[in-house]
Amino acid sequence: MARLTINGKSHEVNVSPTTPLLWAIREQVGLTGTKYGCGIAQCGSCTVHVDGAAVRSCILPVSAAEGKQITTIEGLASGGTLHKVQKAWLDNEVPQCGYCQAGMIMAVAALLKAKPKPTDADIDAGITNICRCGTFQQVREAIHAAAKA
């Protein structure tokens, strides 16, 4: 058993302490916006925020997330208002199949918090998520648009 705070709500999850956070979020709490891609911290599709930092939840044990504030894509908008990254994504028509996009958006939201006006080099260094549909150019444009918002 573990107690997790996800999107401001407390949840009791019935998993072992070593279970990856991703599975607690998806299978126990039922928030399925966060996706499983590689399971080895390479693709970023499972990215969530833990105490405001982007983490790859497929390799983070539940025990390391207890007592922390976890935010998933479902909790990124606030009070019905989209986060500026979500808005830029819509305006720039970024998604193709969509599978990688929740993780991509969470990674970008954390990047913009740390670096509000990222350069292309900052984006290359900070956003290492993989998109099998190849939306990288649209992602870059949307990041710059969100940075201006």
Shortest distance, CB of residue 79 to ligand FES, whole angstroms?
Answer: 27
- Distance between CA atoms of residues 23 and 125, nearest Å: 28
What token pair was written down for 100? 């990688």
Q: Which two tokens stand for residue 29?
A: 């709490």
Q: Which of 27, 32, 33, 99 binds ligand FES (CB under 6 A)?
A: 99
Which of 21, 88, 100, 105 is in the footprint of ligand FES by CB under 6 A? 100
Q: How far is the CB of 90 from ligand FES (least distance, A)?
A: 14
* C-alpha radius of gyration, the chain, whole number: 15
* Dist CA 88 CA 145 (whole Å): 6
Among 53, 90, 97, 114, binds ligand FES (CB under 6 A): 97
Which one of the spans 8-16, 40-48, 73-81, 105-113 is the region binding ligand FES (CB under 6 A)?
40-48
CA angle 47, 49, 55 (to 5 degrees): 50
C-alpha closest to that of 5 among 53, 71, 88: 71
Of 26, 52, 53, 50, nearest in space to 37 by CA: 26
Q: Which stretch binds ligand FES (CB under 6 A): 6-14, 81-89, 96-104, 112-120?
A: 96-104
Strand 9-13 versus strand 53-56 pairing type: unpaired
Q: Does 90 bind ligand FES (CB under 6 A)?
A: no
23 contacts ligand FES (rule: CB under 6 A) = no
Ranges within 125-144 binding ligand FES (CB under 6 A): 131-133, 135
Which parts of this chain interact with ligand FES (CB under 6 A)?
A: 36-39, 41-46, 56, 58, 95-101, 131-133, 135
